[in-house]
Amino acid sequence: MINYNVDKKGFYGDFGGAFVPEMLYPNLNELTLNYVRISKSKSFKKKFNQLLKDYVGRPTPLYFAQSLSEKFKCKVYLKREDLCHTGAHKINNTIGQILLAKELGKKRIIAETGAGQHGVATATVCALLGFKCIIYMGEVDIKRQSPNVARMKMLGAEVRPAKSGSRTLKDATNEAIRDWISNPVDTHYIIGSVVGPHPFPDMVARFQSVIGYETVNQLNELENKSKPDYVIACVGGGSNAAGIFYPFLNDEDVKIICVEAAGKGVNTGKSAATSILGKEGIIHGSKTLLMQTNDGQITEPYSISAGLDYPGIGPMHANLYKSGRGEFISVTDKKAMEWGLLLSQMEGIIPAIETAHAFAILDQKKFKKNDIIVFNCSGRGDKDLDTFIEYFKL
């Protein structure tokens, strides 16, 4: 059997690893030596599960979408991560990492954020457990995402602008890494997706795997089956996808579909379809697929949804792409926006624009009548209301 999960050295096939400056070795070493042991310990699991239940609101429902199922002639289920506290799956990971930081005796948390969603999820758990919280955010993003900046401040976090380069996510990430190098003893860096150097991709995937394991239990109850025919998720860095794929990675009866943001179109120069447009390279300490120029400069990605415009994908997904285990489909801004409206009106669920991308594949792909299709409904659309208002002149 082929293993699509991480190996002992922190690789997924050809991808992953930890390609970082020597000064970061001690920080990563401490994590690598401890993350599995701590996260598997009884006392950690008890605290983690308790918070997921009482604070996040888990388990999230697995909802049978009647109207979509009738229209597309298959069985469509939605895993309702949009119902999590703070509105998306990101909180599963930040809860896991803050508990880990606590076990490691850390006092101070840093994080990077693009649209601000991960910043808010991090500031939330820092408020919950009384940690000092510093969020690095590109100066351009601070201007574009002012409601999330306000949320982080309300939650007690300090938002530090990244003023170099394009002043967006990748620059914020560079600043966060610099901070971590300077503060190796008291600080933990909470990365927001299955990206970055080992052990981050595996650690984040494990914390998000609660999505997939709940799905297994819920399918058993609802369908008397422990596996669906397809699992489908949008992919920015890849954490909500990794979470729902996790129990099925090595079970090829379950087909995996990753949906990327085509932006204005894959060949328009305004896209975030990283697998198709990307080449192998190293970004943020990880060998993966990323969008780059011929001489290896990272290309600025574009998508109408802030959560999908990361120039790379996590190493797990790069391997799913290269090996053919996952099918990769890209969806334009236009299709995603239309599906945001369609899902709202067919099911009464206003999705995040990221999430809406995943559903748009129903127009592109045919399923069989009894196929069980599980979409990861990664987040809700409240944060995107202004974009919807402007786009549809509501």
Ligand X SMILES: *Cc1c(COP(=O)(O)O)cnc(C)c1O
Give the contacts of 151 (CB within 8 A, at least 6 positions apart): 116, 120, 123
Q: Under a CB-based contact definition with an 8 Å cutoff, are residues 218 and 59 in contact?
A: yes
Cα–Cα distance for residue pair 368/364, rounded to 1 Å: 14
Residue 83 vs 241, nearer CB to ligand X: 241
Residue from 32, 274, 303, 378 touching ligand X (CB under 6 A): that is 378
Q: Under a CB-based contact definition with an 8 Å cutoff, are residues 172 and 306 in contact?
A: no
Using CB under 6 A, which of the segments 236-244, 254-262, 268-276, 287-295 binds ligand X? Answer: 236-244
Residue from 60, 187, 215, 240 touching ligand X (CB under 6 A): that is 240
**Closest-approach residue to ligand X (CB):** 379
Q: Where are the beta strands (DSSP E) in the chain?
A: 11-12, 15-16, 62-64, 75-79, 108-113, 132-138, 158-162, 187-189, 230-234, 255-265, 270-272, 279-283, 286-290, 326-332, 372-376
**Between β-strands 108-113 and 187-189, what pairing exists: parallel, antiparallel or unpaired?**
parallel
* 271 part of the interface to ligand X, by CB under 6 A: no
Sheet containing 108-113, strands listed edge to edge, beginning at the edge strand earlier in sequence? 158-162, 132-138, 108-113, 187-189
Residue from 27, 94, 239, 288 touching ligand X (CB under 6 A): that is 239
* 235 part of the interface to ligand X, by CB under 6 A: yes
Where does 246-363 have alpha helices with state H? 274-277, 315-323, 333-347, 353-359
Helix, strand and coil percent figures for the chain, each rounded to 5? 45, 20, 30
* 261 part of the interface to ligand X, by CB under 6 A: no
Interaction with ligand X in 179-218: which residues (CB under 6 A)?
193
From residue 124 to residue 153, the character string flagging contacts with ligand X as x (rule: CB under 6 A) and all else as - is ------------------------------
Instruction: Specify whether 90 is catalytic.
Output: yes
Given the residues 112, 175, 214, 354, select the one marked as catalytic: 112
* 88 part of the interface to ligand X, by CB under 6 A: yes
* 263 part of the interface to ligand X, by CB under 6 A: no
Residue 88 vs 101, nearer CB to ligand X: 88
Interaction with ligand X in 341-360: which residues (CB under 6 A)?
352, 354-355
Active site residues: 90, 112, 378
Positions touching ligand X (CB under 6 A) are: 88, 90, 117, 193, 234-241, 307-308, 352, 354-355, 378-379
